[in-house]
Amino acid sequence: MSDAAIRTADLGKRYGRITALAGLALEVPRGAVFGFLGPNGAGKTTAVKLLLGLSSPTSGEAWLLGAPVSDAAAHRAARGRVGYLPELFRYQGWLTAREVLALHCDLMGLARSLWQRESDRVLDVVSLTDRAGTRVSTFSKGMQQRLGLAAALLGSPDLVLLDEPTSALDPVGRHDVREIIRALRAQGTTVFLNSHLLSEVELVCDRVAIVDRGRVVASGTFDELLAGDTVRIRVTGLPDDGLARFGTQQQRDGEWLVIRGMDASGIPDLVVEAIRLGGRVHAVEPAHESLEDRFLSLLGKDP
């Protein structure tokens, strides 16, 4: 079986006539910090729920640490090595933070002698040590999200799934989460980060998949995704595809031609070629494409 931390093949989920996820094919290598990026309602949470067996797929298969979701016993065993912070994070208000963590230690089958030490460790990581004995019902949303993150880190899992982990956090909290993710990467833990926050993903992830309306529209490392610069050239009188050999992707925008994936050092050659073919060059604009520009262009929206 695949050695990837997460693999999906043609994974799909339909709710009646609504397609939440269509033919998702993903491979997250072990040890990677993987960003799953997409606008609200793109199918990110659905994908995570399918991976964890909280929801069942209407097509395809998914493997969590090598265990297929269709094999209940193997998948359950694999979940013992997975930490999960849900997007809708709610913990038992009638328990204290420490009791919630003890419950999760118990459910994941951790030896009782380790509960106290593990709880102390993760409470320290998320800066909740001084609230350990407080009932969760008195926690702010941000504190509850920190507690959820702490629960996801219990027992040093092989894979941590974080669904919008900073949605309720202030800037300090967001910074803390980035540091936690970096520390996980240093330990070799695989992190699957669901987010619609481009900056968050850009700062911590080494691989990314962009999903829209239930489909992956692009994936790879940032270098692959943002291959080279973008050059905009306003040129008239040129045959179609005349400049096709430049860049990796081209797009017409009125008189403008947007060429992606070409190095800015190639601009003089581009202009010479345009004139040689009888074109009249009015303007040339080199631009470094940000993840946001790429994201918006992939979603079919003008940057």
Partner 1 sequence: MAVITIARLAIREVVRRRLILALVALTLLAVALTSWGFSRIPTITQRGVPLPDVQVKLIASQLLILVMFMFSNVLALSAVFVASPSLSGDIESGIALALLARPISRRDYVLGKWAGLAALVVAYAAATIAIELAAVDLAVGYVPPRPLEFAAFILAEGLVLLSLAILLSTRVSGMVGGVVALVLFGMAWLGGIVGGIGAVFGNDVIENTGIATKLILPTDGLWRGAVYHLQPAAVLAAANAAGPAAAANPFFAAAPPAAAYLAWCALWVVAMLTLAVASFRAREI
Q: Residue numbers of the site for partner 1 (CB under 8 A)?
A: 49, 52-56, 72, 76-80, 82, 84-86, 88-92, 94-95, 103-104, 106-109, 148, 151
> Could you tell me the smallest distance in angstroms from the CB atom of residue 58 to partner 1?
11
> Could you tell me the smallest distance in angstroms from the CB atom of residue 271 to partner 1?
56
Q: Which is nearer to partner 1, 92 or 221 (CB)?
A: 92
Q: Which is nearer to partner 1, 18 or 88 (CB)?
A: 88
* CA 7 and chain centroid, separation: 14
> Could you tell me the smallest distance in angstroms from the CB atom of residue 197 to partner 1?
21
> Could you tell me the smallest distance in angstroms from the CB atom of residue 49 to partner 1?
7
Q: Which is nearer to partner 1, 67 or 125 (CB)?
A: 67
Q: Which is nearer to partner 1, 86 or 214 (CB)?
A: 86
CA angle 93, 94, 95 (to 5 degrees): 90
**The two structure tokens encoding residue 189:** 């833990």
Q: Which is nearer to partner 1, 160 or 274 (CB)?
A: 160
CA angle 132, 133, 137 (to 5 degrees): 95
> Could you tell me the smallest distance in angstroms from the CB atom of residue 113 to partner 1?
16
How many angstroms separate the CA atoms of 146 and 122, rounded? 10
Residues 6 or more apart from 126 whose CB is under 8 A from it? 146, 147, 149, 150, 153, 176, 180
Cα–Cα distances (Å) from 249 to 212, 242, 274, 290, 303, in that order, read: 20, 13, 17, 16, 16
Q: Which is nearer to partner 1, 17 or 94 (CB)?
A: 94
> Could you tell me the smallest distance in angstroms from the CB atom of residue 11 to partner 1?
15
How many angstroms separate the CA atoms of 157 and 81, rounded? 5
**The two structure tokens encoding residue 17:** 């006539």
Q: Among 152, 298, 159, which residue's Cα sits nearest to residue 225?
A: 298
In the chain, the amino acid numbered 32 is: A
